[in-house]
Structure 1
Amino acid sequence: MTPGLPDPAGFPHCPVCAYVTTGTARLCSDCAGRTLQPVSDSHCPVCSQSVAPGSACGNRLCALPVAARGFSHVDAVAVYSGALREKIHRLKYDGRSGWALIFGRLLVGWMNSHPERMHGVDHVIGNPTHTGRQPLRHIEAIMDAAYTEDVNHAFPLSPPGGHRLVKATETPRSANRSLEDKRAAAAAHAAALTWTGDKADIQGATILLVDDVFTTGTQLQHVALRLCASGAADVRGLTLARVPWSG
């Protein structure tokens, strides 16, 4: 840090940090990276799940060909644990909207730090929540913040309010449901989405689909398949948090 200026407070003390409004994506990303649980060096190249060296991933989706899986791979900023898990929950269910700013910075910070993973991406879009979601549309809030924090417009993010994927109707939730119910909910979610941009924009495009939490990837699979059916050439995933999974 610059001499004479305070050090960052450290994640998850972001709300009282001296840089909560003036910090950059790089500053917040570097700061949070000191406390967030990183994705294991030994991880599945498809879903980022931690695996023992030389072992196959236990996620059934990873064994599928890309045409059946829909997405080529999913990256994660960190593991869904500890303070990150709590703060995502605060934003998602308590409406603590200030965390959208921080998470937007973390996404942009990850993109800046992984140019090889961003190569060729034509659109960075959020996996949408329905337009009437309460207490807030957390994915949209995060993506709007990411656009604002990408001050050099280095990435193809949509401006606030210009989300390319929109979900106008609510569909069944999948939390704490059976695997069959989760698959049905994922299919219903994907079917409810509308591409609001120019249809020509999706033809042959590489899309980075952003979400807050990734567990098995069932919902991402269905959304990716829908995008590919609409003309996308490649769908990649980026999630704030990868849930440790042993299924």
Structure 2
Amino acid sequence: MTAGLPDPAGFPDCPVCAYRDTGTARLCSDCAGRTLQPVAEPHCPVCSQALTPGQACSNRVCSLPKAERGFSRVDAVAMYSGALRDKIHKLKYEGKTGWAMIFGRLLVGWMESHPDQMREVDYVVGNPTNRGRQPIQHIEAIMDAAYTEDVTRALPLSPPGAYRLVKQAETARSANRPLDEKRAAATAHAAALTWTGDARDIKGSTILLVDDIFTSGSQLQYVARRLRASGAADVRGLVLARVPWGG
């Protein structure tokens, strides 16, 4: 991977890695893949939840018809555990911005290594946070980093600040809430979103919706349904981390 050069330090020792500032998305993605907990096999083809062989996924969202569910599938870079869980928390709740760059590289690395799943994608957009979110708009920070790390400009990412999907108002948070409250918060979140581009751009498009964490899928479901109601032909999800969920 780095013949004749120092070995990468490994995730989560990224801050002291020789390639922190000069590494590529693929290098960082491959390095992190050696320590992150991968998505289990077999897993649900819709929500990436681990499956017991011969049993159907217990996530209610996955049993809905596609027209009601909104998204066609959600992929995850890794499972929400250990160091990845800790570093997402550092960025999201403590504003440790250095992790946005690493997460941007992990997302771009995933996209580069899955060309078949990216071939039909017209837009890669973040599931937005409120403009006044404190301590940081973490999704926007990750998406800005992803654009920077896409050095070949091969991916349909928006430049920093030019977000196609924005959130105009603060809504209730869904983290650590019962499922019914998550759904209510997800409905309010989706209703607060605005597509900033020409409304004709979204017609017939395939959108890859990026988020940090996926648990039950309620929020991505409602955002995807909002995008499809606006004319998107297909909405897929890509998250940094899949939370193990038993329904």
TM bin (shorter chain):
over 0.9
1:177 Cα deviation after fit: 2.2
- Counterpart CA distance in 2 for 1:223 and 1:182 is 13
Deviations 1:76-97 (A, max 9, x none): 0000000000000000000000
Indicate the residue corresponding to 1:32 in structure 2: 32
> TM-score, normalised on structure 2?
0.98
For 1:161-240, list aligned pairs within 5 A: 161-240=161-240
- In structure 2, distance between residues paired with 1:34 and 1:79: 13
Alpha-carbon distance between aligned partners in 1 of 2:183 and 2:4, rounded to the nearest angstrom: 54
Is contact 2:205–2:233 with CA below 8 Å preserved after alignment?
yes
Letter of the 1:217 partner, please give it. Answer: G
Q: Which residue of 2 aligns with 1:90?
A: 90
In the alignment, what sits opposite 1:112?
A: 112
Give 1:61's aligned amino acid.
V
Structure 1 position 65 matched with structure 2 position 78: no
Secondary structure of residue in 1 paired with 2:213: strand
Q: State the Cα deviation string for residues 63-87 of structure 1 (Å, max 9, x = none).
A: 0110000000000000000000000
Counting only pairs closer than 5 Å after superposition, residues 120-159 of structure 1 correspond to structure 2 as: 120-159=120-159
Q: Give the gaps of 5 or more residues in structure 1.
A: none
Amino acid at match of 1:125: V
> What whole-Å deviation, never above 9, does each CA across 1:115-167 have from its counterpart, x for those lacking one?
11112000000000000001110000000000110001111000111110000
Letter of the 1:53 counterpart: P
Identify the residue that residue 99 of structure 1 maps to in structure 2.
99
Please state how far the C-alpha of 1:175 moved relative to its aligned partner.
2.0
CA distance in structure 1 between the partners assigned to 2:152 and 2:40 by the alignment? 30
After superposition, give the CA deviation of every residue in 1:157-212 in whole Å (9 maximum; x if it has no partner).
00111110000210011123222211110000000000001111100000000000
Task: Quote how far apart the aligned CAs of 1:3 are.
Answer: 4.2
Identity of aligned residues (%): 76
> For 2:102 and 2:182, how far apart are their aligned partners in 1?
29
| Segments ≥4 residues shifted beyond 4 Å | none
3-state SS, counterpart of residue 209 of structure 1: strand
CA deviations on 1:27-84 (whole Å, 9 max, x unpaired) are 0000000000000120000000000122100000100110000000000000000000
8 Å CA contact retained: 2:41, 2:51: no
Distance 1:51 1:202 in 2: 34
Q: Distance in 1 between matches of 2:180 and 2:244?
A: 21
CA RMSD of aligned residues (A): 0.8
Give the Cα–Cα distance (whole angstroms) in 1 for the partners of residues 194 and 179 of structure 2: 25
Aligned equivalents of 1:74, 1:244: Cα separation in 2: 14
Contact 2:43–2:49, Cα closer than 8 Å, also in 1:
yes
State the distance in 1 between where 2:121 and 2:3 align. Answer: 38
Distance 2:26 2:46 in 1: 26
SS of alignment partner, residue 50 of structure 1: coil
* 3-state SS in 1 of match to 2:140: helix
Letter aligned with residue 32 of structure 2: A
The residue number in structure 1 matching 2:74 is: 74
* Letter paired with 1:149: E
Secondary structure of 1:72 counterpart = strand
Counterpart AA for 2:141: A
Opposite residue 96 of structure 2, the aligned amino acid is R
C-alpha separation in 1, matches of 2:63 and 2:119:
25
Quick one: distance in 1 between partners of 2:211 and 2:188? Answer: 17
Partner AA of 1:193 in structure 2 = L
